[in-house]
Amino acid sequence: MPTPWSDEELKASVEAYVEMLDKQRRGERVIKARYYRTLEKRFGRAAKAFEYRAQNISHVYALQGRTWIAGLKPAGNVGVNIVARLEALIAEVEGHQPSASATFATEVNEQRGLYRDNASTSPTGRLVPDKKAVNTTVYEREPAVVAWVLTKADGVCECCDSPAPFTREDGSLFLEVHHLKRLADGGPDIVENAIALCPNCHRELHAGVGKHELAARLIDKIERLDAY
Ligand SMILES: [Zn+2]
Ligand SMILES: [Zn+2]
């Protein structure tokens, strides 16, 4: 039986991950093996295990629709218990309010596994769902940036070049403005980092397999865009 991971070990793993991700964002060289070796010395667990844990952390970032560390491919074979602990620790270490989006997605996936075998009994659900107040950090966005990017796109998705999928009630064409480097990841709110997208391309850039490669292709394709 492998030893279960203590809170201390998981927290140290998340701290190392967040530090590596920060370095990657700043364009600094990240020597990942050094982090795993330090953790191995501290906790007496193999460096390889910490590397694998880091891939689980990428998995949580991926479920949240965020950018993960290059070279640490998301590894999703972790249960809801570990995902919930990692998600809470990421919020704590990054200093923002916890979200439970990765935990919820994991619960949905686990339940899907159950329904795959037997979907004849549907869930009762809740007639009156519980509610809770949450505190979130939002980034103030510049309306002028959104306005300029939408005007420039003129109703055509800058990713797939398809026309906006529908017209809003006010008559405007529906496209969404996305920041290639998220504001939450330290990206600037400027037109060189913003792109007008149809909802499909937008979700794909947050959640699609190969989303980092797709973002890189867009930076090549659209002259206005810069890598940040
Ligand atoms: Zn599109
Ligand atoms: Zn977006």
- pLDDT at position 1 is 66
List 179's β-bridge partners, or say none: 194
Q: Which residue has the tokens 């002259």?
A: 223
ipTM of the predicted assembly exceeds 0.90 = yes
Residues 94-114: tens digit of each pLDDT: 998 888 899 999 999 999 988
- Domains, the chain, ordered by start: 7-111 (no CATH), 143-221 (1.10.30)
Give residue 152 CA to ligand 1 midpoint distance, Å: 15
- pLDDT at position 114 is 86
List 177's β-bridge partners, or say none: 196
- List of the chain residues with pLDDT < 70: 1
Q: Which residue has the tokens 């999703």?
A: 76
Give residue 179 CA to ligand 2 midpoint distance, Å: 6
As residues whose CB is below 5 A from the ion ligand 1, the structure lists 157, 159-160, 198, 201
- pLDDT at position 186 is 86
- pLDDT at position 133 is 83
List 163's β-bridge partners, or say none: 156
Give residue 136 CA to ligand 1 midpoint distance, Å: 28
Give residue 217 CA to ligand 1 midpoint distance, Å: 14
- pLDDT at position 22 is 94
- pLDDT at position 146 is 95
The one-letter code for the residue type at 53 is R
Give residue 149 CA to ligand 1 midpoint distance, Å: 15
- pLDDT at position 137 is 78
d(CA 164, CA 146): 16
